[in-house]
Amino acid sequence: MSDDERRVLITGTGVVSPIGKSTEEFWKHLIAGKSGAGPITRFDASGYDTRFACEVKDFTTEGLVDRKDAKRMDRFVQFAVVAAHEAIQSSALDLERVDHDRVGVILGSGIGGMETFETQHTVLMERGPARVSPFFVPMMISDMAAGQVSIQFGLRGPNFATVSACASGAHAIGEALRLIRAGDADVILAGGCEATITPMAMAGFGNARTLSTRNDDPQRASRPFDQERDGFVIGEGAGIIVLESEDHARRRDAPLLCELAGYGASADAFHITAPSADGNGAARAMRRALDDARQSPEDVLYINAHGTSTPTGDPIEVQAVKTVFGEHARRLMMSSTKSMTGHLLGAAGGLEAVVTALILARGIVPPTINLERPDPQCDLDFVPNQARPQVVRAALSNSFGFGGHNVTLAVRAVM
């Protein structure tokens, strides 16, 4: 960040998650170490190797979205609109008093409207092309979460989607940071949304051998950094933050959670699903975020890990952290909240940015649950099983995606 670029603050959060459909409910259960995993209820999964996931239960748009509009939104879009409502409300952003041309929306989704795609494909096969919904394409495409949030609130600033698998939400937030710094917007709603607990998605991830098959004990299945981990648990939901230029936020006396201080992105250029074995891509993303924030590694006390609970990915992330932080890696805390929420894929970076901002604002670090027998290769402080009161002034959030996409966001306390 150059001297003439504007500082960017986080002023609001919106959450739809497997452990809470608002920020406060989510945070309460996160700190308590509650797992959101359970048997799949959205379809009959009895013939699948993995029969559980982290679903958002009892979700509704009632009272927030017109019923006709809601029927024309895929589930991932509905999650985004509901989370955006809360984010705007929590930031105390008065839409009657802001310049709508300078308020943008950037939301990531790794897969988009998978449920709509599957449903309409069934219609095509069973009833013919004439019966496919004319809303099929605008319900399915990944940019429609950003588009619908813009439409619902009349926000006419920069508006687009980022699609980079499990890094999508974090990429959205990083690009929003750049646009506000450059003066192209005063406020941007940024984050991610995903809804892929569907028959095709579960079959595809399952046949790729990426999912846990701990069907007899779903709540203990997501166990990042544990020796007995056997894959990730799919989750769904949305995490959205409100980003504002510092002068805009202070002028309206907005609630200030923390500063989004840096953004680093890189590519492994290695493999379509596996991370580079030396962790070089992840390490470069972390270094770039630190450089962008003008912070030294020693400033950082906490990292929200990508930490998916896969046999390959977890130790590689640990190696990358050691490469960047050296001996300081032993002094920082690093937890994976995916142990509770499951892996929200393209929404993960948005939800975990919310987590990281709240840690700075509230002075307590959520745990990595189910960490009972640490992998010898994973030998850092993962805040096992219990939340820890701790003032944190600077932190990172990591998001890494299929295709070798790496993103790190750097946040720090507002001075």
- Active-site residues: which are they? 166, 306, 343
| Residues 290-302: b if buried by 16+ CB within 10 A, e if exposed | bebbebebebbbb
Q: How many residues does the chain have?
A: 415
Q: Give the bridge partners for 39, in sequence order.
A: 52
DSSP, collapsed to helix, strand or coil, labels residue 374 as: strand
| Residues in Cβ contact with 363 at an 8 Å cutoff, skipping those fewer than 6 apart | 389, 390, 391, 392
What is the secondary structure of 149-208 as a DSSP string?
Answer: HHHHHT--S-EEEE-BTBTHHHHHHHHHHHHHHTTS-SEEEEEEEE---SHHHHHHHHHT
| Residues in Cβ contact with 326 at an 8 Å cutoff, skipping those fewer than 6 apart | 297
The whole-angstrom separation of Cα 327 and Cα 329 is 5
| Residues in Cβ contact with 17 at an 8 Å cutoff, skipping those fewer than 6 apart | 26, 36, 56, 235, 237, 238, 239, 341, 344, 351
Within 13 A of 99's CA, how many CA atoms are on the CB side?
Answer: 10
And the tokens for 374?
A: 């640490």
Q: Give the bridge partners for 401, in sequence order.
A: 405
Give 330's DSSP letter. Answer: G
Do the strands 388-389 and 364-365 form a parallel or antiparallel pair, or are they unpaired? antiparallel
The alpha carbon of 140 is separated from its chain's Cα centroid by a whole number of angstroms, namely 20
Question: Of all helices (H) and strands (E), which one includes residue 229?
Answer: none
Listed residue (176, 338, 335, 293) closest to 241, CA to CA:
176
Listed residue (124, 271, 116, 98) closest to 185, CA to CA:
98
Tokens 């975990």, residue? 352
Listed residue (284, 8, 300, 306) closest to 167, CA to CA:
306
**Which amino acid makes up residue 188?**
I
